[in-house]
Each structure stands twice: as C-alpha cells, then as structure tokens.
C-alpha cells in the first residue's frame, strides 16, 4: 500500500476522534520557512501528501456501498433476510447497452474465488451475504439474476437509497476542502 487514511469515529454521534494519513509530511518543516526543495518534493509526489486524503479525494466506496444495496433490497422486498441466495465463486453476466445489442459476457468474482477459482460460499441466507460481504450476492440482488432473483433493485432505486444514506453529499466536517462523497 502506497497511501491510505485511517479515521476513528464515534459510531453513535459521528464525531471524528482521530484522522491520520500516509504519506504525510513533517509539520515542523512547514512552521516557518519551507525549504523550496522540500516543498517541490512534496508537491511532485504522486501520492499527494499535501492533500487531505480523507476529505479531499474521491475513491470507489467498495464494500461500504453494500449498506445502500442491502437497505434498498430489504426495504423493497427484493429478498427477505432469511431468503437463500446462491453464492458461487464466479457468475457470468451479459453487458448490453440496448435491446438489440448482443452484449458481451463478463465474469464477476466473489472474494473466495479470487484466491481459489474453484471456491464458493454456497447457499447463504441474505443476512449471511451481508455478514460475509459476498460480492456475488450483491451483484444478484442489485441487478437481478436469471430465475433466482428475477428483478433486482436496479440502478435508479439503488441511487435513491445511496443518496438517502448520504452518498454524494458532504459530511459537514469543519475542515476546508471537503468534496462530496
């Protein structure tokens, strides 16, 4: 890992208790006169140590986005908490852009299949899908999958639930330079 951020937050209030990032820089060298060579070194670093990576950069949310999917899927009745979802290691989906587009077949992997292509989580209750963060389960309930889950949440409803949970909005942290999430 070449860069990263750790944020310690009070889960009950949302209060930020600590925030650190790597790479960082020596604050003492910035207190008075900043040597030009040092500033140029920081400015040219592709990992952007002068930028507050926690609030001023945008990254794909990864598995944290599954909370938006799970909320929508359960609220809309796409699946019940105890409903069984098959979680093979790999599924194949056809990507199309129009009704006449034959599309192209794409492979989607669960985390276990990235380690061992023959591995599978097998049948899971949807609550287990959440607990195990199964990518395959969320692909299926998000977009639907063959006869198993005929209609998923879909992109528009997924967007509504993500926005309701605060995605694409500023948090309101009292630091300058915050971007939307």
pLDDT digits (tens, 9 = 90+) for 26-58: 888 888 888 899 999 999 999 999 988 888 887
Contact, 85 vs 129, CB < 8 A?
yes
| Phi, psi (degrees; rounded to nearest 5) at 166 | 100, 5
Q: Is the model's pLDDT at 164 over the cut of 80?
A: yes
Q: Please report which confidence band the pLDDT of residue 1 belongs to, taking 50, 70 and 90 as the band edges.
A: low
Its pTM stands at: 0.75
pLDDT digits (tens, 9 = 90+) for 75-114: 999 999 999 999 999 999 998 899 899 999 999 999 898 8
């Amino acid at each position: 890992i070449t860069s990263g951020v750790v944020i310690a937050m009070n889960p009950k209030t949302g209060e930020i208790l600590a925030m650190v990032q790597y790479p960082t820089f020596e604050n003492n060298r910035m207190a008075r006169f900043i040597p030009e060579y040092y500033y140029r070194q920081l400015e040219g670093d592709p990992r952007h140590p002068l930028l507050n990576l926690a609030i001023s950069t945008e990254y794909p949310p990864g598995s944290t986005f599954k909370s938006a999917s799970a909320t929508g899927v359960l609220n809309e009745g796409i699946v019940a908490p105890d409903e069984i979802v098959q979680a093979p290691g790999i599924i194949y989906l056809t990507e199309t852009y129009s009704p006449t587009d034959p599309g192209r077949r794409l492979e989607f992997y669960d985390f276990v299949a990235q380690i061992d292509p023959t591995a599978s989580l097998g049948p899971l209750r949807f609550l287990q899908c959440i607990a195990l963060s199964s990518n395959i389960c969320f692909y299926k309930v998000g977009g639907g999958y063959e006869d198993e889950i005929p209609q998923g949440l879909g992109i528009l409803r997924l967007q509504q639930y993500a926005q309701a949970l605060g995605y694409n909005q500023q948090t309101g942290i009292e630091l300058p330079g915050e971007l939307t999430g």
